[in-house]
Amino acid sequence: MVKVLVASRIHEKGIGILRENNIDVYIVEEPREEDLAELIKGYHGLIVRSKPLVTRKVIESADKLMVIARAGVGVDNIDVEAAKSKGIDVITVPEATTTSVAELTIGLMIAVARKISFCDREMRKGVWPKKQAEGFELNGKILGIIGAGRIGSAVAKIAKHGLNMQIVYYSSTRKPSLEKELGARYLPLDDLLRTADVVSIHVPLNSETRHMINEEKLKLMKKSAILINTSRGGIVDTNALVKALQEGWIAGAGLDVYEEEPLPKDHPLTKLENVVLTSHIGASTHEAQERAGIQVAEKLVQYFKAKKLLQ
């Protein structure tokens, strides 16, 4: 019998699909590395989200593992090279969370531009902030998208059609369809940073993108610009960003992801009024979690059928 270890919470409909297809499912949420290394023995498949870490130690402990399935898009919590060396496949469901992350991105843009979080904090203290809360409109402003994949493109479409923003983008490949549909302009990264009023990051974290946005890049941005990151924390050099926000190199930031998660209680970012912080909630909607659970389960069923382990 095919056995799958579900090491992160996924939607009950996904669990149902696995069991309906005669897959033996065992659920344990976000086990520690040493526990996962022991638990993984005897399982053909492993499902995770952004946690737990699937390290080389875990992978080398697996004796029957054929596939690691990520109920989402990023695989930076999985040692893909270690998996590859053992002939273990890694699959994802990138489409599941696109809408939810794109909508949060737009929400952070508005929250920073209109100082919504600042006003909320002040009013809870009994203060009526008025002059201090002057922000700026997004209508007609230039949105710079770094990474025009599924999520980046979705953000661009909402911003263009919903907020009348002008779109510029930097991506590993040109996107003719985006250019035609939205009038988007491709720019080299440095030019994009100099041009955009809002910069939004949508690239995966890897050796090439780690600290892509560093002190040098932040200094290229307009002093009136804001930075949004709903991708991965490691893409931005946190120390450089804190300095940029403190010293006014940029006007503000909206962050859902961090180099260290959870963000420590007394982290410098938590002391700044010009930053809006959310707790890695890009995919945290009922709809996204249902889609991710269903899609990851369906992909695993298809995978094991292709391997002739299921009828």
Q: Which residues are catalytic?
A: 232, 261, 280
Question: Which of 304, 311, 214 lies closest to 3 in space, CA to CA?
Answer: 304
Sign of CA dihedral 56, 62, 63, 69: negative
Q: What is the DSSP string of 173-219?
A: S--HHHHHHH--EE--HHHHHHH-SEEEE----STTTTTSB-HHHHT
Q: How far is CA 108 from CA 88, 158, 198, 307, in A?
A: 38, 13, 11, 43
Place of tokens 């263009």: 160
Q: How far is CA 275 from CA 51, 126, 244, 261, in A?
A: 26, 21, 11, 17
> Rounded distance, CA 15 to CA 188, Å?
44
> Rounded distance, CA 217 to CA 6, Å?
40
Residue 173, phi-psi category: left (phi > 0), alpha (psi -120 to 50), beta (remainder) = beta
> Rounded distance, CA 145 to CA 159, Å?
11
C-alpha distance across the termini of the chain, in Å: 11
